[in-house]
Structure 1
Amino acid sequence: MKLPYNRPHFFEFHDQPWCPPTVTAQAQAILTFLWTHRIPPFQSRAPYHGAADVLSGLIRELEGDKKAQEKGKGRLKVVDCCSGAGGPIPAIERVVNKQRVDSGLTPIPFVLSDLNPHLSSWAKATATSTSNALSFIPYPVDATHAPAELTRERHIRTFCLSFHHFNEDAARKIIQDAIKGADALCIFELQEPRLESLLELLAIFPLVFLVTPFTKPTISILILTYILPVLPFLMVFDGLVSAYRTRSLEHVRYLANLANLTLNLEGNDVSEWSWNEGRRRHTWPSGKMYWIIGKRESDGSSSW
């Protein structure tokens, strides 16, 4: 369904500063589980595989861009923004780099970052990386203003189930900063404002009961799940709001045009960017991962 670009930015419970940290952490743990685990018989593989496929295709294209390579900005890498406790990126990194090693290619570096770094969780994730290509930035990173040391190198910025958390102004600034310093921007969402997606989100309620035992829950989380079902309700509510907030390709292009205008007014030399979208089924019958990719164009580049 088509929604106005300037629609109200409704709140999600686990985003609020007054939400107990244990509840926020559990919501993130459940979302990570749903990203990284297959739920039979409704899924043939976990959703992160679809994101890995899309990202691998983009990496191959950017690595084949001879003009960009001649600029001497070093190897391409993937920088995940708003990583939280890690999300699906460790799993995506594992798949992408296994495919590369199997094809005789060097593993590509993946970097976790967040405004509120989860250092202990990230350290555990990097320690289990079989390619030793997963690392993290130990200090706060603002997705609207990347540090200079990051923009000096060729990189792809990813947002996994996080771009919809930003309001219009912040989303525009994220795109603007990416256009200024990145080679590409990837937005991955597991929901969107479509009727079939909204209906499937209702299935989160029973899923929370099934998934919770696998997330190392505390006593308080068990009470808020099985005795007082606050968490199942919260997850459904936040999921529906996430779908409502998810931006379409046209919306992102609109924000990119505003970002380009601002950059031009500031006297920046702005490269042309192309934007496309796609969907990959992750859950039967109609659950689909929705992705939007923007990438810096150069002479002779091609769409994929």
Structure 2
Amino acid sequence: MKLRLHLFEFEDQPWFPAPVRAGMMDYLRFMITHLHTYRPVAPLLAEGLRRTGQPQVLELCAGGGGGTEDVLRALHAAGLPNARITLTDLYPQPAAWRHLQEQTGGAIGYEPAAVNALQVPAGLPGFRAVFSAFHHFRPAPAEALLRDAVRAGTGVGVFEGAGKHWLELLLAGTVMPVALLCIMPFVRPFSLSRLFFTYLVPLIPLFTIWDGMVSILRMYPPEQLLALARRADPAGRYHWQAGRVRHSWGPEVTYLVGWPQQADAQL
């Protein structure tokens, strides 16, 4: 599907009720973690770290940090035992991140101050990565995010947990709500408000269906990701590649990765 529509997502709106947004994020974090959504991109991310000689991943737009622990384990299994991840967001979530830090013995850390992904402070090093969030940016800010990485001379990767297919839209409108209703009692930490807005006043399922389908329509397919990257890097200083990788059980992840050309020459 090459069509991209930047439609309205409820979770983006400042007026959207915080308990409903939190419940939606808890569900997505649970699914991304337990389905190992981003495990297939670990080799791409590991290659980027090796090419740039960088053991640190700087995760932008990290949200609640869903799937980050799984990515870290995959990087360690890929032969990078010293890999570390720092979580950042324009709206930090230190309570959720602190739990991840404790669970990983400090291998996952976080920046407590707000971090704008379009203007990352020079004091935050690392291979920049964006999981499940690049579709929130319209073309101009999406290009600006990549340009800021090029300006800093750091590696960068963006990863979306879908292949952008019509079948995924169908699944988002049918299978997703059933899965949500089944797993919500098992999502931790426990929350009465999450159960209330799932079963008694079902706002979480309804808005999750809409936002899930819109997220797929907002996604940039590989050819558009490459076009954004080339506009962000008009001098051609970077090696860029984009595409899709598939899980052994079917689903795909769409990706773009880039690093300075001189890093290729050094290997």
1:195-250 deviation digits (Å, cap 9, x = unpaired)? 12222223111011112112245333223222333222211111111011111222
Residue 256 of structure 2 corresponds to: 292
Of 4, 15, 19, the residue aligned with 2:16 is 19
User: Could you tell me how far 1:99 is from its partner in structure 2?
Assistant: 4.5
User: Could you tell me how far 1:115 is from its partner in structure 2?
Assistant: 0.8
Of 176, 180, 186, the residue aligned with 2:147 is 176
Of 13, 30, 35, the residue aligned with 1:33 is 30
Q: Partners of 1:176 and 1:230 in 2: how far apart? A: 38
Residue 83 of structure 1 corresponds to: 62
Cα pair distance change 1:141/1:36, threshold 3 Å: same
* TM-score, length-scaled by structure 1: 0.79
Of 178, 184, 197, the residue aligned with 1:212 is 184
User: Could you tell me how far 1:119 is from its partner in structure 2?
Assistant: 1.1
Cα pair distance change 1:283/1:239, threshold 3 Å: farther
1:135-179 deviation digits (Å, cap 9, x = unpaired)? 1111111000010212xx4x2111110111112221111011011
CA contact (8 A) 1:191 1:242 kept: no
Q: 2:34 corresponds to which letter in structure 1?
A: H
Larger of the two Rg values belongs to structure: 1
Runs of 4+ in 1 over 6 A off after TM superposition: none
Q: Partners of 2:256 and 2:155 in 1: how far apart? A: 11
Aligned residue for 2:181, secondary structure, equals: helix
Q: Partners of 1:124 and 1:290 in 2: how far apart? A: 28
Q: 1:29 corresponds to which letter in structure 2?
A: D
Residue 126 of structure 1 corresponds to: 101
Structure 1: 5+ residue stretches without partners: 39-45, 64-74, 262-269
Q: Partners of 1:167 and 1:136 in 2: how far apart? A: 26
Of 146, 171, 195, the residue aligned with 1:222 is 195
Structure 2: 5+ residue stretches without partners: none
CA contact (8 A) 2:20 2:203 kept: no
Q: 2:131 corresponds to which letter in structure 1?
A: C
Seq. identity, %: 29
Cα pair distance change 1:110/1:238, threshold 3 Å: same
Q: Structure 1 residue 190 and structure 2 residue 155: aligned? A: no
User: Could you tell me how far 1:98 is from its partner in structure 2?
Assistant: 4.9
Residue 245 of structure 2 corresponds to: 280
Q: Partners of 1:299 and 1:229 in 2: how far apart? A: 50
Q: 2:123 corresponds to which letter in structure 1?
A: E
* TM-score, length-scaled by structure 2: 0.89
